[in-house]
Amino acid sequence: MPFAPALHAEWIKIRTLRSLVGGLLAVFLVTVLFSALAGLDSEGPDFDPLFSAFFGVNFGQIAAIAFGTTAVSAEFEGGALQVSLAAMPRRGRWFAAKAVAIGVPVLAVGLVTGFVSLAVGKAVLGAEASGLTWDEGLRGALGCALYLTLMALFAAGLAALLRSGVATLSVLVPFLLIVSFVVGGASGTAADLLPDQAGRLVLHETSDSVLGPWTGLAVTALWAAAALFAGAWSVRRRDA
């Protein structure tokens, strides 16, 4: 089977599973809601208006990784992977189609989420957002979309490697919500190389990190690529 029909088949799976459609909706709702709530608290010496407008990404990324995890882990339940590989024996091509089918809708939803979060955040912040430039806002909105997409792909690759949605979420959710912050507080700039810490630099107006906004996203992209490579290796080498 050529790549295009394989991609179409994977897209049908995405849009017909309620849990996956709900996951995409959650990415939007959770990010926008928590960004709006963060805008209500604009006090403190370290206040960053750009990050405040996109603060909800800290929680929206959980929905993004849940989406990427579920889309892949569903293949390892009830013999679904055997059916998929019967239609597409080229395992590498099948996994590439799966990754594209995950990444494209998250990117699309992420773009909408980014621009809506920016508009809502600036409206809630009011005068506090007056210093934000058009370029910074555009960078934040695009960075929001790319970051959410990369985290979803990172989760998808890890789910293919671990072959379990529960195991993947058990690793990623505590890491994002607890471990990353603890390591970040203890290791200084070394934590900037973690996938979440590096990627979120694009959402800050200024930063003391050795990485820039886009180089931080590049670090996250390397993590996602490594996870996808490991997942592809697992799919090709292990029994269905």
**Residue 185, pLDDT above cutoff 60:** no
The pLDDT of residue 34 is 93
Q: State pLDDT tens for residues 152-178.
A: 999 999 999 999 999 999 999 988 887
Across the range 146-153, mean pLDDT stands at 98
Q: State pLDDT tens for residues 21-32.
A: 999 999 999 999
The pLDDT of residue 186 is 57
Indicate the pTM of the whole model. 0.92
The pLDDT of residue 22 is 94
3-state secondary structure the chain: CCHHHHHHHHHHHHHHCHHHHHHHHHHHHHHHHHHHHHHCCCCCCCCCHHHHHCCCHHHHHHHHHHHHHHHHHHHHCCCHHHHHHHHCCCHHHHHHHHHHHHHHHHHHHHHHHHHHHHHHHHHHHHHHHCCCCHHHHHHHHHHHHHHHHHHHHHHHHHHHHHCCHHHHHHHHHHHHHHHHHHHHHHHHHHHHHCHHHHHHHHHCCCCCCCCCHHHHHHHHHHHHHHHHHHHHHHHHHCCC
Q: State pLDDT tens for residues 93-109.
A: 899 999 999 999 999 99
